[in-house]
Structure 1
């Protein structure tokens, strides 16, 4: 990453995309929970696998957003250190 500003913009765009995806998954999971209730957690339920996949994807997307925040904080620290020298 030779251009911190370009990297920062890319990460912010990535985070925005992930946030939209997370909102979609949240809504889908809420719908599943409302419609199928406790059946979702039953191994034999035909919705069990879909529920697991949506939850897994949501967790991965949240981790991606956290990682982007972490990288941006590193870029900010690096930029501020470079400005002080």
Structure 2
């Protein structure tokens, strides 16, 4: 099974959900599209790793709500203790930055400003979810045995990374404005509190 399959099992181990909900839940774990998730759900169901319950909806088509099976939990338990492989980063924006010398200053700035805008929207949305998680955990106490702990720390991690990327993008914008005739100061990044 591929890593997306384990990400799906991890999400379903927290709570049953539809394929549509999985896309949202997996955003900080292993971003995937509906076209990737639905065929994999079918294969995983055929292997006995998950089951689904068909739920009728008023005014909308029915949906399948998936749950992890005992076999799925056993598979996930075995996998979670294995050493992970090296991360793979595939980001079209980074390729464009690598080739940014091929465009003019205005287009370069637009690429970076668009990225900043997207990241800021994600950070804002994610921070609302983080605050909600923190409020929910105030009464329960957040610890590493809570099913919500992993989700909380990954949302927080993603926000820190996105904030640092916004800092990097602003540094790049300054470089683009200075042009190549001046000396450049390398960015100094730091982890900040949210």
Question: What TM-score, normalized to structure 1?
Answer: 0.86
Count of residues in Structure 1 that have an aligned counterpart in Structure 2 = 80
Moved over 4 A (4+): none
Question: What TM-score, normalized to structure 2?
Answer: 0.39
Structure 1 segments unaligned to the other structure (5+ residues): none
1:63 is aligned to 164
1:30 paired to 2:131:
yes
Deviation at 1:14, TM superposition (A): 0.5
Higher RCO by CA contacts (8 Å cutoff, separation 6 or greater): 1
Alpha-carbon separation, structure 2, partners of 1:61 and 1:15: 9
2:107 is aligned to 6
**Alignment root-mean-square deviation, CA:** 1.7
Alpha-carbon separation, structure 1, partners of 2:145 and 2:164: 29
Alpha-carbon separation, structure 2, partners of 1:39 and 1:52: 14
Deviation at 1:39, TM superposition (A): 2.1
SS of equivalent residue, structure 1 residue 47: helix
Query: 2:119 pairs with 18, 30, 33, which one?
Result: 18
SS of equivalent residue, structure 1 residue 43: coil
Alpha-carbon displacement from aligned partner over 1:3-51 (angstroms, at most 9, x marks no partner): 12101001001000000000011100000001112622x1111110000
1:39 paired to 2:107:
no
SS of equivalent residue, structure 1 residue 7: helix
Alpha-carbon separation, structure 2, partners of 1:5 and 1:45: 48
Alpha-carbon separation, structure 1, partners of 2:124 and 2:111: 20
1:53 is aligned to 154
Higher strand share: 2
Structure 2 segments unaligned to the other structure (5+ residues): 1-99, 183-194
